Amino acid sequence: MVFQFFKGGDSAVDEVEATLVQMLLDGRDVYDTAMEALFGGGKSKETKKELKSTDRGINTAQRDVRRELMVSASVHDTVDLPLVLAYMSTVKDVERVGDYSKNFYDLVKYGADFENAPDHDELADYRDRVSTLLGDAAATFAASDADRARSLITKADGFLDEYDALVKAAYQSTGTPADAVSRALYYRFLKRITAHVMNFLTSMVMPIDQLDYYDEAKDDRN
């Protein structure tokens, strides 16, 4: 249980944890903004600028976290190396949420528009569940709620199977190539974001050697 084990009231650690939470919330902003464009908003200079600006802030925060962790490890005798390693890993997963979220806007640039799609409700349901997951994960981490983290991980792990099935269905679709490709990519991006959120939550409930556990296929996790 890395998160609970090494939380000792260090102000640098508190600052890093607050930054990780804000990064995830900013990643959710990127996600929601890109989804608004995909579900009818369309592409615009304003949306593109907003996405780039927020993602740039996430990237800057990632560098700040890594710098703070290295400085703390260098100058404080009481800093535990496992804590530094854990958050070095965690910050990467949070940063990837923003990167994958931007990819939904790429679908818009390629011509995808789900506003009037026949499967709109299904697409929107998966959109909303991932947005909710991002918010719940940020709140859970901020509250140091390990039990809630386990519950979210279990719930999200079920989503991964659904995304795999949906990608396969898109691959086997008899519809237009554009529809099949946009849905295969859509569900693939949702899966990657979900996996990175699950990795983020593992810092609260798993030993350090099992971080990034959910980047692996289920058959390869042992």
Has residue 6 been placed in a domain?
A: no
157 is in which domain, residue-wise? 11-220
| DSSP-H helix ranges across 110-145 | 120-142
Query: Which CATH number covers residue 90?
Result: 1.20.58.220
CA distance 172 to 193: 23
Has residue 88 been placed in a domain?
A: yes
Has residue 124 been placed in a domain?
A: yes
Highest mean pLDDT among 3-7, 44-48, 198-202, 205-209: 44-48
Domains: count for the chain: 1
Q: What pTM, to 2 d.p., does this model score?
A: 0.89
117-to-40, 126, 148, 163, 182 alpha-carbon distances in Å: 10, 14, 35, 19, 12
Instruction: Identify the pLDDT of residue 220.
Output: 58
CA atoms within 13 A on the CB side of 153: 22
At 49-82, the pLDDT tens digits run: 999 999 999 999 999 999 888 877 776 666 567 7
Residue 219 has pLDDT above 80, yes or no: no
Has residue 216 been placed in a domain?
A: yes
Has residue 1 been placed in a domain?
A: no
